[in-house]
Amino acid sequence: MEMSNKTAQQIYHEIRANPARARFGFGRKAALVNIDVQNAYTRVDEFKTAYQTDPRQIEYINALARLFRARGWPVVWTYVAYMESGEDAGVWGTRTNTEDSLQNIKFGSRRAEFDERAEVDRTRDVIYCKKMPSPFFETPLQSLLVWHQVDTVIITGGSTSGCVRAMAVDALSRGYRTIVPEECVADKHESYHYANLTDMLLKYADVLPVAEVLDWAATGAPE
């Protein structure tokens, strides 16, 4: 195993700056999947479980969503919420049982609601409640992407080390070109955030500046 005294952030920026780094690249049509942009994970002023990396994260997500809608491309929002019993969280909800625990994000609660800053179009966008990290797990997401004939998936939301990474692995495994706009994902600690950006960059996704993704979404390949 290679050893290093560099921080996770330093390693990430060093790898990202490599001009020889190969890309998967954009395809012809994309879906935007915004993972768990809900109060439990975005409202740092209210909940201990929330986190923020780039303060303009939701602003960038909204800008992407507007571009995707304008092109007739799918915009997906996911959230997590559980029954009063918490049994639908399965073993994932067994490590702790406090008011901050995952399985205690209850339907109809403040923690389960989308952040008010997120411009969710409830008549046009697709909304899925998921129970596990990846938005692909036991949701109709795969069928939606097949129906829209997309070949590229843009992933935003959180957390970088959890649901975003799980989505990236699943998306690549299903044959999608997978793009992560760096400013659009967040995590609780910079170490987890940058270590997982590095892992995705090296293996599962193109991690790109959001400006480049916005530009492609506005002017990229037609359907």
CATH number for the domain that contains residue 131 = 3.40.50.850
Supply the pLDDT for residue 4: 87
Is 163 noted as a catalytic residue in this protein? yes
Residue 32: closest CA among 183, 180, 207: 180
pLDDT tens for each residue of 182-195: 999 999 999 999 99
Which 8-state DSSP code applies to residue 182? G
Tens of pLDDT along the chain (223 residues) come to 888 899 999 999 999 999 888 999 999 999 999 999 999 999 999 999 999 999 999 999 999 999 999 999 999 999 999 999 999 999 999 999 999 999 999 999 999 999 999 999 999 999 999 999 999 999 999 999 999 999 999 999 999 999 999 999 999 999 999 999 999 999 999 999 999 999 999 999 999 999 999 999 999 776 5
Give me the pLDDT at residue 159, please: 98
The answer as to whether 17 is a domain residue is no
Q: Which of these is catalytic: 30, 35, 126, 163?
A: 163
Does residue 16 form part of some domain?
Answer: no
Q: What is the pLDDT of residue 220?
A: 78
pTM of this structure: 0.96
Contacts of 178 (CB under 8 A, 6+ apart): 24, 152, 153, 155, 168, 171, 172, 200, 204, 205, 206
Residue 14 lies in a domain: no
> What's the number of domains the chain is made of?
1
Task: Give domain status of residue 11, yes or no.
Answer: no
Domain residue limits at 116 = 26-219
If you search the block for the tokens 């389960």, which residue do you land on?
112
Q: What is the rounded CA–CA span in Å between residue 141 and residue 124?
A: 15
